């Protein structure tokens, strides 16, 4: 099936007025990038390739899009409950307006995109969605926007477009797209079918043929077209998402859907749910591919990070405090402590305050096996960093042992913790910098630098920062149980239970 050479003037005029809508899928954990990526702070929130996180870079990727269609000022971001405050804060820091839709449970990308499309259509907006995973990297933003603009022109007519990356090597870690005939003068080509991750020998044949592109996971299509496709091919997903969206509520900066309905939704990717089926004869859809050469990477493991970053003459990549002596083809990433590499080759060394990874670069994909073992042993390192971000700021666990836990707490200006109490611990608070307003039982008072107070076990309390500068303090917990689940909240500004 080819793209029609012309469409009725009225339909074309309507298509030309449709806005472009950034839809960012920000779920997932990225365990192969441990120890930087953790379940509660996954790779899309990390500045793997620069100062900005992958999410922040993605959120700005359509700025300046060279398209006749206006780009919506507000993005749609779909993420999990656990990451919502970090996502919101990073978008705020980047001056990105967003409708943040929360998934009550992870159900893969097809249900996530369905929620995004439903939110747009509910507003009477049949936008052209540019669907982007939040955890991918693009080094040539200009080339990226040019090819997205080509895809937008095709998607405006009601067709489904995917961006296929021109392969630079015989890669066995990616799925492939087999492309067919050219469909228009922009060299938009027909999508023949999807191909699973191949063997090295087959990947080499794909590379040499010129008929295959890497599957990027980037899609461009109208919201109504996606909903029609998901209803046709995966009616159970469609019905579950419609029911979940009917029960939506707004909570601070977030749109929540009905948890019971969404949890009952089948888990399926965009590829399996729709894209592999629209190429079938009689599907009723036109599936097209726009080729992309823009320095794209899914940054899926540490070898991909090494591949994406600039290297010295010996092939080394360094971040943070690193010293090399006779090293080659080494990736060394320090979050604080000095890393010294002597005579290393084909290694990955990643340091964080609570864990160190040393791996052969060629074996970097196997890091996920280590994460599975940490989880089986109930190690906190699989889920949390030592520094844990909260909507009011963050805390850093400085030291802990039997019966005590020491934290450095930083509260943002104007922010406050929940009104709470603990059944198993008492707390000492010492203000290091700034001013604290303390609520303790029925009293409320201010603490300045070098002043302290004591919160007894079972006392209702709250910590606030009334100032214009960050509040920094040391908290010393003592008691029989010091887990984070020993919190009874009575009131919270951020909608936490």
* 91-144 pLDDT tens trace: 999 999 999 999 999 999 999 999 999 999 999 999 999 999 999 999 999 999
Longest dimension (CA), the chain: 76
Indicate whether 382 belongs to any domain.
no
Does a structural domain hold residue 496? no
Q: Where does a domain end: 326, 355, 376? A: 376
Report the domain count for the chain: 3
pLDDT digits (tens, 9 = 90+) for 449-475: 999 999 999 999 999 999 999 999 999
Average pLDDT of the chain is: 92
For 488, the token pair is 């009874």
| Count of other CB atoms within 10 angstroms of residue 216 | 22
pLDDT at 1 over 60: no
| H/E element, 376 | helix 367-376
Do the domain assignments include residue 305? no
User: Are 48 and 89 in the same domain?
Assistant: yes
CATH code of the domain containing 476:
2.60.120.10
End position of a domain, from candidates 300, 322, 346: 300
pTM of the model: 0.90
- Do 290 and 212 fall within a single domain? yes
> Strand runs (DSSP E) across 252-338, as ranges?
254-256, 287-292, 296-297, 317-319, 322-325, 331-334
Is the domain of 201 the same as that of 336? Answer: no
For residue 496, what pLDDT band results from cuts at 50, 70 and 90? confident
Last residue of a domain, one of 249, 280, 300: 300
Q: Are 182 and 189 in contact (CB under 8 A)?
A: yes
Q: Do 274 and 356 have their domain in common?
A: no
* 190 within a domain of the structure (yes/no): yes
For residues 35 and 380, the answer to whether their CB atoms sit within 8 Å is no
Residues 43 and 96 in one domain: yes
Query: 496 has which bridge partners?
Result: none
Q: Does residue 8 have a pLDDT over 70?
A: no
In terms of domains, do 124 and 45 share one?
Answer: yes
Give me 288's structure tokens. 């097209």
pLDDT above 90 coverage of the chain, percent: 84
Residues 160 and 218 grouped into a single domain: yes
Q: 57 by DSSP, 3-state: which?
A: helix
The answer to whether the beta carbons of residues 353 and 394 sit under 8 Å apart is: no
Examine the domain organization and report whether 141 and 286 are in the same domain.
yes
Q: How far apart are CA 49 and CA 228, in angstroms?
A: 38
Is 9 part of a structural domain of the chain?
Answer: no
Same domain, 129 and 198: yes
Is 133 inside any structural domain? yes
What is d(CA 21, CA 40) in angstroms, rounded to the nearest whole number? 28
Q: What is the pLDDT of residue 6?
A: 38
Let me know whether 361 and 450 are in one domain.
Answer: no
Asked if 176 and 324 sit in the same domain, the reply is no
Domain housing 448: 387-491
Whether the predicted pLDDT of 28 surpasses 90: no
Q: So what's the pLDDT on residue 186?
A: 65
- Same domain, residue pair 325 and 465: no
| DSSP output for 82-100 | GGHHHHHHHHHHTT-EEEE
In a domain, 4, yes or no: no
User: What distances in angstroms separate CA 147 from CA 112, 162, 225, 289, 448, one per listed residue?
Assistant: 24, 11, 20, 10, 56
The CATH number covering residue 47 comes to: 3.90.550.10
User: At 60, is the pLDDT very low, low, confident or very high (cuts 50, 70, 90)?
Assistant: very high
């Amino acid at each position: 099936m080819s793209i029609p050479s012309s469409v009725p003037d009225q339909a074309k005029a309507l298509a030309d007025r449709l806005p472009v809508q950034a839809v960012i899928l920000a779920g997932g954990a990225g365990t192969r990038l441990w120890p930087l990526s953790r379940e509660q702070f996954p790779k899309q929130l990390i500045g793997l390739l620069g100062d900005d996180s992958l999410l922040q870079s993605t959120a700005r990727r359509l700025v300046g899009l060279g398209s006749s269609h206006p780009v919506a000022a507000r993005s749609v971001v779909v993420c999990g409950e656990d990451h919502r405050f970090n996502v919101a804060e990073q978008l705020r820091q980047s001056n990105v307006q967003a409708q943040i839709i929360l998934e009550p449970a992870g159900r893969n990308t097809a249900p996530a995109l369905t929620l995004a499309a439903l939110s747009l259509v509910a507003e009477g907006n049949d936008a052209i969605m540019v669907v982007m995973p939040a955890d991918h990297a693009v080094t040539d933003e200009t080339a990226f926007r040019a090819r997205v603009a080509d895809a937008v022109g095709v998607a405006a007519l009601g067709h489904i477009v995917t961006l296929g990356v021109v392969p630079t090597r015989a890669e066995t870690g990616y799925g492939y797209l087999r492309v067919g005939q050219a469909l228009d003068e922009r060299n938009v080509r027909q999508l023949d079918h999807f191909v699973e991750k191949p063997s090295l020998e087959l990947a080499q044949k794909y590379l040499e043929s010129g008929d295959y592109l890497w599957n990027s996971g980037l899609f461009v299509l109208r919201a109504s077209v996606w909903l029609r496709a998901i209803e046709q091919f995966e009616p159970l997903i469609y019905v579950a998402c419609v029911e979940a969206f009917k029960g939506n509520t707004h909570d601070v900066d977030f749109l929540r859907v009905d948890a019971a309905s969404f949890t009952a939704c089948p888990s399926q990717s965009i590829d399996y749910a729709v894209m592999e089926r629209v190429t079938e004869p009689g599907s009723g859809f036109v599936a097209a591919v726009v080729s992309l050469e823009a320095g794209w990477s899914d940054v899926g493991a540490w070898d991909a990070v090494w591949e994406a970053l600039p290297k010295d003459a010996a092939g080394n990549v360094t971040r943070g405090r690193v010293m090399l002596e006779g090293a080659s083809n080494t990736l060394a990433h320090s979050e604080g402590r000095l890393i010294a590499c002597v005579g290393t080759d084909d290694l990955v060394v990643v340091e964080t305050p609570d864990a160190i990874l040393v791996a052969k670069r060629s074996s970097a994909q196997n890091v996920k096996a280590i994460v599975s073992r940490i989880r089986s042993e109930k190690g906190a390192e699989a889920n949390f960093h030592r520094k844990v971000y909260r909507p009011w700021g963050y805390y850093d666990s400085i030291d802990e042992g039997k019966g005590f836990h020491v934290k450095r707490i930083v509260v943002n200006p104007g922010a406050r913790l929940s009104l709470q109490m603990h059944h198993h611990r008492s707390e000492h608070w010492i203000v290091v910098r700034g001013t604290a307003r303390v609520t303790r039982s029925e009293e409320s008072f201010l603490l300045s630098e070098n002043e302290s107070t004591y919160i007894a076990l079972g006392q209702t309390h709250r910590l606030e920062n009334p100032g214009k500068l960050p509040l920094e303090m040391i908290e010393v917990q003592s008691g029989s149980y010091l887990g984070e689940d020993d919190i009874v909240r009575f009131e919270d500004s951020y909608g936490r239970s």
